[in-house]
Each structure stands twice: as C-alpha cells, then as structure tokens.
Structure 1
Amino acid sequence: MDVSCAFPTALDSPDNIALAEELGYHRAWLYDTPQQSPDVWMMLALAAERTERIGLGPGVLVPSLRHPMVNAAATAALTALAPGRVAVAFGTGFSGRRAMGYGAVPWSYMESYIRAYRGLLRGETIEWEGARMRMLHPEGHAPSRPVEVPVLVGALGPKGAKVARELGDGLYATLSTPEFMSEHPWVAYLAWGTVLDEDEAPDSDHARQTAGPGWALSLHGAYEFGGPDAVRALPGGQEWLDALEAEPPEQRHLSIHSGHCVELNAADTAAWRAGGSVTLRDVTLSGTRAEIRRKLDEFQALGVTEIVFQPCGSEVRAELENFLEAADPVLAGGA
C-alpha cells in the first residue's frame, strides 16, 4: 500500500509537499476549498517547481467551481511542470460547496463534467452548455493532446459507483469504506489522525491539535447527512448542536465549516470539552504505532491501495515522520 499525504491548501503547502517528498511520501494531494484556501492549482504549480519525484494532484476538485476548460487547461499546465506525476480526483463537494451554502453536486452533472473534461484533454471537440469547444493551446502553451492523466472519483453510494466504474481510473474515498472499493485497482483513502504515545489519553492537548480537526468531521458529516438527531447520538453531540444553534439558521453552514480540517471551531470545541473525544480512535486513524499498523492492514484488506494521511497542528514534520514510521517502518528508515 502506497503512503501518501494531503494538506488543506495553504500558502505553505508547497513547502509541506517538498518536505513530504524528502521524507519519502508517494503522493501529495491538495484540497479544492476556495472559501478558506488559495487556489489549488497555483499551489500545486509551486510545489511542482520545488519537487522532483512526489506525485501531485487536487483531491478533490469540485466541478461547479470551474468551467471544465479551466480545469483541463490547469491540468495540462501542471502536467507540463511535473510530467508523469499528476493525478486528479473529483468529488461532489463536501466542504468545497457546503461551506458556501450549497448542496452537493448531482451525480448527473458530475458524469457530464468528467466526460467533457476528459474529452478536452484527449483533444476532442466537446459540447458544454450548448457550445462546441476544444483546447486550442498552441505549442508552448500546453502539452500536445492527448494529455494522459489518471482520474479518481470520490464516490460513496451507487450513483457515484456507476460514474467511477465508467469514467474513473480509480476511487478516492474518505469517511467510509464502500463495498465497491474492491472493484478498483487504485483506491486512495483519505484519513486524519495522529500517532499517540503508549499511555497518551485521547483527550490530550496533542491529540486535540493534531487529530481533533479530523475527529470533528464525524460531527460535521453526521449533521450534513443525518441532521440534528444523528449528531445528538454522538458523545458531545448535544453540546455541539447547542453551540451551532446559537447562530442564525442562514449562517450555520459558515460556523460548521469554519476551520475545516485545520482547527476546531466553537461547536467542535464544545463537543470535545463535553467528552466527545472518546470516539477519537473510532473516527480517525489515531492510536499507538501498533494500533495504526493494524488499522492500515484492515484498510488494505478492504481494497485500499493508497493511504492518504493529512497531518494537523503546528508540527507538520513530526506528524509526517511519526505516521510514516507507523505505516511503513522500512520506508521511514530509508527516508
């Protein structure tokens, strides 16, 4: 199983990706979250200039944020900067859309978008929004077509599974492990967490800073997909709801997604302090080195071929080193 990493796109992402290459990580993915991040393609281009080996890609692109021609042109440019190293993943937009008050992208739109995007990279004339178009880039403006880039699809349910089978080269999964994972030769699984000391409590300051943002996604996801009752069923859930419902209904999505994958927001903090941290090991890839190794073996048995770890907190190097040592001691020893 390949060991990769992901980062919430930030101004220091190129530096963090260069560090990940130094340590021996296989690939680095950056999130497409414009409500809290600089442009994902801009940061990937800077990372390409600072690295030589590590794979690069947006994980995941949210189709409604850009015209398919824009993403195709950006993909071609990144491929020119980092030949043979680029992969692209698409998703329906958990935070990339919901943080701006929208729902997820319909799978019918996703299917049409990926078809158009892939057609453009092949050099075809495609139809989009009633108009016919193709990539017209002269020599020196982009690589010649076709531009060969693997595409992963972030799918969890049957509609997404169909699109992934028909249009994807693999699956980009997170938060759950769908049964159809085993159908795909390439399954990247995004996880958050931290390596805990043997006697470290799950509510330690270290655990809160490094695994807390990933733990908070269990509350965010429960609310977005199951509503308030699903949150109440979780430890600390009522306290989380109390903090959230102090906000006007039309602005609650702003509070939910504030600090997404970076830090705990006010509602998350209320839940953590109320004892919600007891689920840390269950909802994140957190534990001792031996516990993490066992969890990774379980993921591999389910069909995961690439584990994607997102470090949190201020000590990025330490988090990357510790996880790599737990995930692949041989690789860590040679990095």
Structure 2
Amino acid sequence: MRLSIELVPKDPFWRMRVYAVTAERLGYDAVWLSEHHFNRSSVVAATYLALRTRVLRIGMGVLNPYAFSPALMAQFAASLTELAPGRVALSIGAGDPVSLKAMGLGWVDPLRRVEEAVVTVRTLLTGSRTEGHLRLDFRPRGTVPIYLAAQGKRMLELAGKVGDGVLINSANLPFLEESARRARDAATSAGREGFAVEAEVLTSLHEERAKAVKTVKPYVAVVLLGMPQTWRERLGVEEGLLTRLSDAVSKGDWLRIHEVLPDDLALALSVSGNAADVRRSLSELPVRFLDGIVFGGPLGPYPRRAINELWRVSSELFDRGPRGSPAQ
C-alpha cells in the first residue's frame, strides 16, 4: 500500500519543505501539490520541493485543461524531471466550476477536455508531435505517470480507459469501493496493465476530535460543492445547505462554513479525529481495491505533527516499514 500526503500551497515554501522532508524521512512514497488560484503556485512549489528532496515522488496537480493548456502541462512535467529524474507524476482533472468561474473561465464538456489533455500530454512526453504540430524539443528524464482525478462515474471510467492511474476524490469516500471497482474494471477492459487506484482522502488528525473536525470543514465544503448531484442525494444533502456553502466558499467566509456544515457530513467525507478515530476510519477502507492512499489537506491543525502521527498509525495498520525514524 503506497502512502502519500497532499500539501496545499497555502503555507510559505519553507514550511512546505519541512513537511515534505519530514514525510520523506518517515517513509511516505509521494507528496502531491494541489492547485488553487488563490494559493501559491503548485508548479513553483513542486519545483522547490524537487530540489529539497531525494527519493520522494513529486505529484503535480490536479491541473485542469481550462486554466492550463496540455502543452504547458507537458512542459511543466518534463522540465521537473530534470530536477527529480524518475520522481515526477502528473494528475489531470476537470477543475472546480466555482473556482473557474471566479477566474473568468468556462467549464464546458469536461470529459472531452480531460481526455484530450491526457492524450496530448502523453504524446508530447513520449517525444511525438500532435496533429497540430505541438512538440517538446527535449525529452523527460524518466517516465511520468498520468493520473486522472475523478469523482463521477464517467470520469472514473475515463481514468481507467486512458490514465496510468486514478486519484479518487474524497467526495467518493462513502462510495469508495464502488468507485474503485468502476475505474479498475474500465482499465481492465482497456488492457491498461499496472493501472494504479489511489484514494485521495481529506484528513485532519488532532487529539481533540472537535478541533480536527473544525480544521477539515472548509476542505469538505469545496469537495461537497463539486460532488455529483446523485451522490449528494444519496447522502441526503439539502439544496439550501449547498446554496449557503457556495456563497461562503465564493466569499472565502470560512467562519460561516464552520457554522453551516454539519459535523456528521464533515466526518462522512473525510478521515478526521484523534489517532484512534483515524485508525478506525482507515481500517474500514476497502483496501483490497486500492494501491495507495493519499492523505489530503489539511492533515490537521498542526500538519507536521499530523504527518508524523499519520505515519505511525497507517504504517502499523498497513505493515509498512520505516525509511527512517520519526522526525524530531
């Protein structure tokens, strides 16, 4: 079982370096950098962390084809391999309609756009030209696996059809086995050997359960707004709640999010609480259908402490040997 963390570039780079180096020393396999227009650039963060780590895989994304052209995605990934040969992965997804609207960008035909992006990026990374004569004049150092970030049924199937792997969004947590099966079956039908299924799980660990839940709520709100309508209905989410959350998220009113998002919904869409809570939640995951778990932001009120404790809990649970002793 691969164990990775996601870092949200809301913190200064020096602090992200501390988190990444801690994760590398403990034995985590990868660090993924999320992309949001209101945070620091995930591309710059990935470059910085590639220079500050030795063995940790650097995951770029999730990048979307509306804010980033596929040619730029390929350029970013290939360039990064010169700093971290064989340690670069790329994730492509449809993007968040709320954020894209704020940026003045449309959100049209996401399945087609994501598929075209994957095909274009893979073509460029393998040294070929596209039909429009796009090319890279240099070759990446090592293979760059392309993951699709997926929630809905058709995107999960597309991931299996064209991706090297899938990052299943935390919105799928209540339906994780169903989602993993769908992506895996699509990959099998497409003959994609070595297809990796990894769950990106919003995580917040702290000895005080209430503090852990409070910390994860803004992240859950964003995930909830992007969740397929059919799944929101299965969870019993009311339209009035979505309206209030959408207004709060668009304004960056995090205090309002804490007020309107119920604790039980935050817990259903994340792995949050104290160490015992987190261990129990992880033990309930359908791990036989997974190749990896990505502990997604915020990790906890104190991320470095949470990274250490998450490793202790998850490495014991999944029988992972340490790369080194816990960071002091």
TM range (shorter): 0.7 to 0.9
Q: 1:145 to 1:240 in 2, by over 3 A?
A: closer
Classify the secondary structure of the residue corresponding to 2:150: coil
Kindly report which structure 2 residues correspond to 1:153-172, keeping only aligned pairs within 5 A, or say none.
153-172=148-167
* Counterpart for residue 205 of structure 1: 211
Q: Per-residue deviation at 1:49?
A: 0.6
Classify the secondary structure of the residue corresponding to 1:126: coil
Which among 192, 214, 220 is matched to residue 215 of structure 1? 220
* Counterpart for residue 247 of structure 1: none
Paired with 1:59 and 1:318, the residues of 2 have a C-alpha distance of: 24
Which ranges in structure 1 are unaligned for 5 or more consecutive residues?
A: 138-143, 245-251
1:257-311 per-position Cα deviation (integer Å, ceiling 9, x unaligned): 555xxxx724312215xxx113333221124434433432433435121111124
The amino acid that maps onto 1:160 is M
* Counterpart for residue 116 of structure 2: 112
Kindly report which structure 2 residues correspond to 1:90-239, keeping only aligned pairs within 5 A, or say none.
90-94=92-96, 97=100, 99-100=102-103, 102-103=106-107, 106-127=110-131, 131-137=132-138, 144=139, 148-174=143-169, 175-176=171-172, 177=176, 178=179, 179-183=181-185, 185-197=195-207, 200=208, 202=209, 204-209=210-215, 211-217=216-222, 219-221=224-226, 225-226=228-229, 233-234=236-237, 238=240
Query: Bigger radius of gyration, 1 or 2?
Result: 1
Q: CA RMSD in A?
A: 3.1
Which among 296, 299, 306 is matched to residue 319 of structure 1? 306
Classify the secondary structure of the residue corresponding to 1:59: strand
Paired with 2:161 and 2:245, the residues of 1 have a C-alpha distance of: 43
Please state if 1:295 is matched with 2:298.
Answer: no
- What TM-score results when the alignment is normalised by the length of structure 1? 0.77
Paired with 1:21 and 1:146, the residues of 2 have a C-alpha distance of: 21
The percentage of aligned residue pairs carrying the same residue is: 23
Q: Per-residue deviation at 1:74?
A: 1.2
Please state if 1:269 is matched with 2:270.
Answer: no
1:123-150 per-position Cα deviation (integer Å, ceiling 9, x unaligned): 11212xxx3221124xxxxxx3685211
Which among 243, 249, 252 is matched to residue 256 of structure 1? 249
Number of equivalent positions? 300
Q: Per-residue deviation at 1:218?
A: 5.4
Paired with 1:116 and 1:311, the residues of 2 have a C-alpha distance of: 29
* Counterpart for residue 38 of structure 1: 40
* Counterpart for residue 24 of structure 2: 21
Paired with 1:278 and 1:122, the residues of 2 have a C-alpha distance of: 46
Q: Per-residue deviation at 1:208?
A: 1.0
Residues 19 and 317 of structure 1 are in contact (CA less than 8 Å); yes or no, is this contact kept in structure 2? yes
The amino acid that maps onto 1:207 is V
Q: 1:296 to 1:145 in 2, by over 3 A?
A: same
Paired with 2:285 and 2:235, the residues of 1 have a C-alpha distance of: 28
Q: Per-residue deviation at 1:110?
A: 1.4
Residues 173 and 188 of structure 1 are in contact (CA less than 8 Å); yes or no, is this contact kept in structure 2? yes
Residues 212 and 273 of structure 2 are in contact (CA less than 8 Å); yes or no, is this contact kept in structure 1? no
Which ranges in structure 2 are unaligned for 5 or more consecutive residues?
A: 188-194
* Counterpart for residue 191 of structure 2: none
Paired with 2:151 and 2:245, the residues of 1 have a C-alpha distance of: 29
Q: 1:57 to 1:257 in 2, by over 3 A?
A: farther
Paired with 2:265 and 2:140, the residues of 1 have a C-alpha distance of: 49
Residues 40 and 58 of structure 1 are in contact (CA less than 8 Å); yes or no, is this contact kept in structure 2? yes
4+ long deviations beyond 6 Å: none
